[in-house]
Amino acid sequence: MRSLFTKTLAVGAAAVLALSAASCGNDREGSGGGDDKGKGFAKDSLIGVALPAKTSENWVLAGDLFTSGLKQAGFKPDVQYAGASTTVADQQAQISSMVTKGAKVIVIGATDAAQLSTQVAQAKQSGAIVIAYDRLITNTKDIDYYIAFDNFKVGQLQGQALLDGMKAKKPKGPWTIELFSGSPDDNNSAVFFDGAMSVLKPQIDKGEVKVGSGQTDIKQTAIQGWKAEGAQQRMDSLLTSTYSKKSVDGVLSPNDTLARAILTSVKGAGKPLPVVTGQDSEVESVKSIMAGEQYSTINKDTRKLVAETVNMVKALQGGGKPQINDTKSYNNGAKVVPSFLLPPVIVTKKNAAEAYATDPKLSPLTK
Amino acid sequence: MNPAKDTSPGEDPRPAAGADRGTGAGPAPVLLEMRSITKTFPGVTALADVNLAVRTGEIHAICGENGAGKSTLMKVLSGVHPHGTYSGEIVYRGEEVAFGDIRASENAGIVIIHQELALVPGMSITENVFLGNEPRRGGAIDWKRARQRVLELMEQVGLKEDPDAFVSDIGVGKQQLVEIAKAFAKDVKLLILDEPTAALNETDSRHLLDLLREFKRQGITSIMISHKLNEIAAVADSITILRDGRTIETLDVQDGGVDEDRIVRGMVGRELSGRFPDHESAIGEVFFEVRDWTVRHPVSAERLVCRNSGFTVRRGEIVGFAGLMGAGRTELAMSLFGRSYGVWEGGHVFKDGKEIQVKTVADAIKHGMAYVSEDRKAIGLNLLDDIKSSVVAAKLSKIVRRGVIDKVRERKVADEYRQSLRIKTPTVDEGVTKLSGGNQQKVVLAKWMFTDPDLLILDEPTRGIDVGAKYEIYGIIQRLADQGKGVIVISSELPELIGLCDRIYTVFEGTITGEVPRGEADPEVLMKQMTSTKKTATP
Amino acid sequence: MSRYQELKKNLFGGTTSNARQFGMIFTLVAIVLLFQVLTDGLTLTSGNLIAVVSQYSYILILAVGMLMVIVAGHIDLSVGSVAAFTGIVVAKAMQEHDLPWPAAIVFGLLVGAAIGAWQGFWVAYAGVPAFIVTLAGMLLFRGANQYVGNADTVPVPEGFRKIGAGFLPEVGPDTGYNNPTLLLGVAACVAVVWREWRARQVRQQMDADLTPLWVSGIRLAVMLGVVIFATLRFAGGRVGTSLPISGIILAALVIAYSFYTRNAAGGRHIYAVGGNARAAELSGVKLRRVNFLVMTNMGVLAALAGMIFVARSAASGPQDGLSWELDAIAAVFIGGAAVSGGLGTVSGSIVGGLVMALLNNGLQLEGVGSDRVQMIKGLVLLLAAALDVYNNKQGRFSVIGSIMRPFRRDNGSAPPDAASSPSSEADPADKTDKTDKATATG
């Protein structure tokens, strides 16, 4: 025991001293920054992708697509998801690790868009290019690009679909609806909601559409963390408080997970199913639409978004400028971020087969 | 509590015992024989070539000082130390056995009842008796059968109590009976009792010893480990004495000539000339007085645990408090010590003629009071601590400078006590759990001596301590008195009080019922006053 | 063997929970070396070390407070919520009421103290178990965080961000290193040497066995090596970086609280209360005050941790503080504290926290997903405890053994080999049986 111990110790001490000596050479370098952006980088560079927790199919799919897409393009992908409970802290640590590993581009699907500025700055200083994926990172000058579906458009489409759906079911108003919005820490939630309200508000003002509970403020309608149980709980209480006698005609739901939770709640209460909107084209929701339960979803083809992002990375690698189509709308509080926006598509039972024709997972469901 | 039967167990059974013991028909067959048992732990030999033979139907006592190897021997027997970890053989009911675990020995009918009971306080008597051994029908517990059976068992052990009563609601004596009933539920052939009467008062102890004799009549063999030599001398048929992990001798009580002194000689390997050191008291004037002390029970508000108690202590005096378990001696002491027990109802404390306010432990320490509790492990010591920090724990301020502990002084102080109290330990950095009971008690004494008290209240200062260490503790108490301190000794052992104290108060049901000076104290006088409410004339 | 134990004792001081702490230091070194190899030397680069310190300093600060709470025999489940609540209150105070940031920090600490005092009141004076009080606090302050913040993310001003994301300034001549960090390193070296010298002196005054000179020598060499290495690494990062401010705050707290728990009467009282509350009370320790202060202190440290995180994140968000309590508690237990209180050290908890932090970091550098990272961390926690139990069965001192002893019957459900009780190491004869049993009656 003793001799083993002594040896271990001696080895340990030697190691420490050796390391100390080795560390005399330091890695001091001037703060990099984007000066060398135009020059591109090696073809097999490390590309970091930091995504939120695996709470929706979409993020899992995006992760897989990034891995395969980046690999195909010759890069070394490093795709990481935040943990389920410690999302923000995890993502901060993951971005730092990517910087340490020398990632040239870091693609971030933020968990909390406002709490990453320190890490983004760190990435920037190390010379990495930062792309905000799907969610705009706020209050920082250090992000380079934003790529997403046009989320205001998404909201508008949802609002319109809600009206169309209710009209189809019950030709004459006034219609009673309820509003749901996404997680308040997600920058997009407000964008969706504002988009939808831009369509719904005129109808509400006209009295054609009534919000049964009167809860129209985004703070009242928000579901923390996009959690299904939160939506179900809120819908349960709405049904108890407002709809014990009447029924609700439509529910604006910002995404599919919440939409299904809302439907579950309504079914549980034994009420007729309202028109419920959605987003993300999740498998269960597409099934639900085909079964005539959920009314609509949005097809934001993750494949396209990832493919465009990978294209962006490729362009940057070659030292060129990536394609952008909006240099005005997305101000993150510190600067206007050059953006590339993809158009979303509304999907109902009618156009499902057509919309998902190219999707290997979804197209069988529409037949 | 039946005063009519009041004869101390030490003398009571002699005439009857002969009838119990003499089977008349020659020696009974041997039930259990342990041969050349040797058990070593890394670095230490706990048992060396120990032999034990127990005859069917006898009460066999095992005596020895702490550390002699009694419990290790019983652990070997019960399979706690499984077969293979010791050498030697065990022959039980004529066959060699090799118990791999406790269950195996229990299946063979060997059951140990430990000193502290393994009962679940929040469960009923019935549930406890069948814990782990529930009568079942299908998958469920057959409560009907359990109830029938528990009534039989309670009858057998003489327990009169509602079988649905919670164990936490019955006294220690009855809890012990529940434990025995539990053993009987497992069809016991050999019952091993480890210090069965340590926590019992005289009445309960007597009842338990009677019960052992009753079991003997029913043919159940018992092994009893005890420090109470009077009890052993009273009930045992044979006595095996261990010393330093070796069998010294086996005494057959029937042959006669076995008394306490004889056992002590075997245990310590010498005659103890006296159980108490010689001492000449130098008693000064009264310096501490308590008047009309009344305290309510902390939970049941209608119960008074101290009623108008009053007493005095002189400088240099050792004052005894005699009383049965539950008489309120500890309650009196703890309530005086900064109201650490119950709800104070009234009463005054005077020191050096002036009334003092003792509302917190800190007050008590400030006024020079010290309380050495009866349960040093539960409330006297922090068992995670080492010796040196235990010693200074009650008066840290003495070694603290500007909020920082002076560790040099801490160690020096502890080391001085180690030497003066002869605490057996290589260094004061040792954890207190590594000390024997007697040495732990010395640490507790040191802790309170360090507070520079004028009055020390020692609650059962020699409980669970072996003979040699007791003698040393007595010496320390006498030295403290000689330094002019007042010492109050609370004890359940009357001989101890009689041998040690200058004056003895008797306590019964929260009231001080008598005061007996040294010359007049004998067990009968004390016992009478300890069991009656009538206040006898104070001299 | 004896030399091994002597070294063990001498290297890490003489208290009881060191066996596990000792093992954990080796685990820590092993983890660092393992990942150093696996990541091709990335683990010990300046950039990574700086990142690790600023990522985990707030958890380690919580662990310091949690250690004292756990030593006193309690637990605090509310720290994450308290941190989040303080974070949002401070952020709002600066954003909406234009409180200058230094004042905001003081304000935050006061909020923490008030919350701690509130919980301390219920624990110490009302006698409600800390588990319940802080479970309630966890809900209460999580809700309060959302109520105050409307689940918004509230940014904080640049000055405030210093405590979480700031570095020491670049001053003095160009040495190729961050000069203030170098100075701190020199100070640390001096302190290490002084402490060793002082320790020897004290042992001498005590008339205690003097640590053999060779042990002192090795200890000094190892510690100086570590300090020099760390200094050069932290000073040698990218220009503009250094030892993070949050790391300096952490180091100051660790030094102060280590000293307090080891050498101050108040610290001693915490251990006494956790070891045996009744015995402490009967020794004149003011039980309630100790409990109250421990909980209040935890509130202050939780507030500080919350502010550092907010500063680092540049904003207070609704997800702040989620699961922090678990990380802090795990660090304390991995670092050798006992569930039932009375055992554990500040430095041990820091080592425990660093084990978790470097494990996390190394796995992230390796590109292991957070799902698997969580699984691995869970297993490490279990393993740390299991190793302790294993040591126990081998007859060495065991923390868990000493905790579990009261719950064990010698003839009951205990595994047979566990019965050779831990304390029988020194005294296997039945002398110690009494000790084993006595705890069961209490």
> What single string gives the DSSP state of each residue in C342-381?
S---HHHHHHHHHHHHHHHHHHHHTT--HHHHHHHHHHHH
Residues 6+ apart with CB under 8 A from B185: B129, B130, B133, B149, B150, B153
Using the Cβ of C14 and the Cβ atoms of chain B, whether some distance falls under 8 Å is answered with yes
The pTM (predicted TM-score) of the whole model is: 0.75
CA distance C305 to C80: 9
The residue-averaged pLDDT of C131-155 equals 89
Residue C324 has pLDDT above 60, yes or no: yes
Strand order in the sheet with B318-323: B369-372, B455-459, B486-491, B318-323, B503-508, B511-517
Q: Cα dist. C400→A290, C268, C404, C418 in Å?
A: 58, 21, 6, 12
CA distance C24 to C355: 8
Q: Which of B122, A23, B531 is nearest to C229 (CA)?
A: A23
Do residues C82 and C90 lie in contact, with contact meaning Cβ atoms separated by under 8 Å?
no
Written as tens digits, the pLDDT of chain A (367 aa) is 444 445 544 555 555 555 554 544 555 654 444 444 456 888 889 999 999 888 777 788 899 999 999 999 999 999 998 887 777 888 999 999 999 989 999 999 988 888 898 899 989 988 899 999 988 898 889 999 999 999 899 999 999 999 999 999 888 878 999 999 998 877 789 989 999 999 999 999 999 999 998 899 888 898 888 888 889 989 998 988 888 888 899 999 999 999 999 999 998 888 899 999 999 888 889 999 999 999 999 988 888 899 999 999 999 998 888 988 888 888 888 899 999 999 999 999 999 988 888 888 888 888 7
Q: Cα dist. A315→A34, A102, A308 in Å?
A: 16, 19, 10
Cβ-Cβ contacts under 8 Å, B84 against chain C: none
Do residues A82 and A111 lie in contact, with contact meaning Cβ atoms separated by under 8 Å?
yes
Q: What's the pLDDT band for C66 if we cut at 50, 70, 90?
A: very high
Domain edges within chain A: 46-143+301-342, 151-300
Superfamily of domain A151-300, CATH level 4: Response regulator (3.40.50.2300)
The rounded mean pLDDT for chain C is 82
**∠ CA(B435), CA(B409), CA(B385), 5° rounding?**
30
CB count within 10 Å of CB A195 equals 23
3 state SS of B402: coil
CA distance A230 to A261: 9
- Per-residue model confidence as pLDDT tens digits over C251-279: 999 999 999 998 898 999 999 999 888 88
Q: Cα dist. C423→B434, C20, C237, C291, C427 in Å?
A: 7, 16, 49, 29, 7
- Per-residue model confidence as pLDDT tens digits over C2-52: 555 555 555 554 444 455 666 778 888 999 999 999 988 888 988 889 989
Q: Do domains A46-143+301-342 and A151-300 have the same CATH topology?
A: yes
Q: Do domains B30-268 and B275-368+453-538 have the same CATH topology?
A: yes
Range with the largest mean pLDDT of A55-64, A209-218, B171-180, C386-395:
A209-218
Amino acid at B48: A
Partner residue opposite C239 with nearest CB, options A31, A96, A118:
A31
CB count within 10 Å of CB C78 equals 29
Amino acid at A1: M
Q: Which residue of C lies nearest to A113 if distances are taken between CA atoms?
A: C153
Mutation target for C interface from A8, A75, A96: give the one with most C CBs within 10 A: A96
Lowest-confidence region among A27-31, B137-141, C184-188:
A27-31
What class, spelled out in words, does domain B30-268 have in CATH? Answer: alpha beta
Lowest-confidence region among A200-214, B120-134, C232-246:
B120-134
Residue B470, classified by CB atoms within 10 Å of its CB into exposed (0-12), middle (13-18) or buried (19+), is buried
Instruction: Give the minimum alpha-carbon distance from A349 to chain C in angstroms, rounded to a whole number.
Output: 35
Q: Are A101 and C221 inside 8 Å of each other by CB?
A: no
- Per-residue model confidence as pLDDT tens digits over B347-372: 999 999 999 999 999 999 999 999 99
**Is beta strand B286-296 parallel, antiparallel or unpaired with respect to B304-314?**
antiparallel
Q: Which of residues 93-152 of A touch C (CB under 8 A)?
A: 93-94, 96-97, 99-101, 111-118, 122, 125-126, 138-140
Cβ-Cβ contacts under 8 Å, A110 against chain C: none
The residue-averaged pLDDT of C190-211 equals 83
The residue-averaged pLDDT of C101-123 equals 96
Q: Are A28 and C323 inside 8 Å of each other by CB?
A: no
CB count within 10 Å of CB A54 equals 17
Cβ-Cβ contacts under 8 Å, B100 against chain C: 416
**DSSP character at residue C35:** H
Q: Are C314 and A115 inside 8 Å of each other by CB?
A: yes
Lowest-confidence region among A308-317, B489-498, C113-122, C292-301:
B489-498
Which of the other chains make 3 or more beta carbon contacts under 8 angstroms with chain B? C
Cβ-Cβ contacts under 8 Å, A2 against chain C: 1, 3-4
Residue B43 has pLDDT above 80, yes or no: no
CA distance B387 to B17: 46
**For residue C415, is the peptide bond before it cis, meaning its omega torsion is within 30 degrees of 0?**
no
- Token pair, residue B62, equals 């095992």
Amino acid at A43: K
Partner residue opposite C319 with nearest CB, options A17, A28, A88:
A88
Cβ-Cβ contacts under 8 Å, C235 against chain A: 26
Mutation target for A interface from C313, C329, C356: give the one with most A CBs within 10 A: C313
Using the Cβ of C127 and the Cβ atoms of chain B, whether some distance falls under 8 Å is answered with no
CATH number of A46-143+301-342: 3.40.50.2300
Residues 6+ apart with CB under 8 A from B396: B405, C265, C268, C269
Residues 6+ apart with CB under 8 A from C152: A184, A185, C318
Instruction: Give the minimum alpha-carbon distance from C288 to chain A in angstroms, rounded to a whole number.
Output: 34
CA distance A331 to B241: 92
The number of CA neighbours under 13 Å toward the Cβ of B355 is 5
Cβ-Cβ contacts under 8 Å, C4 against chain A: 1-2, 5
What class, spelled out in words, does domain B275-368+453-538 have in CATH? Answer: alpha beta
Which of the other chains make 3 or more beta carbon contacts under 8 angstroms with chain C? A, B
Query: In order of start, what are the domains of chain C with their CATH numbers?
Result: 17-166+244-389 (1.10.3470)
- Per-residue model confidence as pLDDT tens digits over A229-269: 889 989 998 988 888 888 899 999 999 999 999 999 998 88
CA distance B270 to B275: 12
- B316 dihedral zone (left: phi>0; alpha: psi -120 to 50; beta): left
Partner residue opposite C430 with nearest CB, options B71, B395, B405:
B71
Using the Cβ of C395 and the Cβ atoms of chain B, whether some distance falls under 8 Å is answered with yes
- B195 dihedral zone (left: phi>0; alpha: psi -120 to 50; beta): left
- Token pair, residue A193, equals 């909601």
CA distance C121 to C139: 18
Query: For the packed helices B407-420 and C179-206, what is the interaxial angle rounded to 10 degrees?
Result: 20
Q: Are B340 and C275 inside 8 Å of each other by CB?
A: no
Q: Cα dist. C82→B492, C69, C78, C305, C321 in Å?
A: 53, 15, 6, 10, 8
**DSSP character at residue A328:** S
Mutation target for C interface from B105, B383, B392, B402: give the one with most C CBs within 10 A: B383
pLDDT at B521: 83
Q: Which of residues 308-337 of C touch B (CB under 8 A)?
A: none
Q: What's the pLDDT band for C395 if we cut at 50, 70, 90?
A: very low
Q: What's the pLDDT band for C330 if we cut at 50, 70, 90?
A: very high
> Any bridge partners for residue B348, and if so which?
B291
Cβ-Cβ contacts under 8 Å, A28 against chain C: 176-177, 236-239
CA distance C348 to C268: 17
CA distance C153 to C320: 10
Domain edges within chain B: 30-268, 275-368+453-538, 383-450
pLDDT at B458: 94
> Any bridge partners for residue A181, and if so which?
A222
**Is beta strand B190-194 parallel, antiparallel or unpaired with respect to B221-225?**
parallel
- Per-residue model confidence as pLDDT tens digits over B96-107: 998 888 888 888
Q: Which of C95, C81, C137 is nearest to C321 (CA)?
A: C81
Residues 6+ apart with CB under 8 A from B513: B506, B507, B529, B530, B532, B533, B534, B535, B536
- Token pair, residue A163, equals 């009206």
CA distance B118 to B124: 13
Judged by 3 or more CB pairs under 8 A, whether A touches C is yes
Mutation target for C interface from A4, A19, A126: give the one with most C CBs within 10 A: A19
CA distance between the termini of chain C? 35
What is chain A's alpha carbon radius of gyration, rounded to the nearest angstrom? 24
pLDDT at C67: 96
Residue B429 has pLDDT above 90, yes or no: no
Q: Which of residues 88-107 of C touch A (CB under 8 A)?
A: none
Q: Which of residues 35-64 of A touch C (CB under 8 A)?
A: 53-54
Residue entry with tokens 């920037």: A124
Cβ-Cβ contacts under 8 Å, C420 against chain B: 41, 81, 85
Do residues C411 and B78 lie in contact, with contact meaning Cβ atoms separated by under 8 Å?
yes
pLDDT at C415: 35
Judged by 3 or more CB pairs under 8 A, whether B touches A is no
Q: Give kind and range of the element (H or E) at residue B136.
A: strand B136-137
Size of interface A-C (CB pairs under 8 A): 184
Residues 6+ apart with CB under 8 A from B93: B31, B32, B108, B189
**DSSP character at residue A179:** E
pLDDT at C7: 55
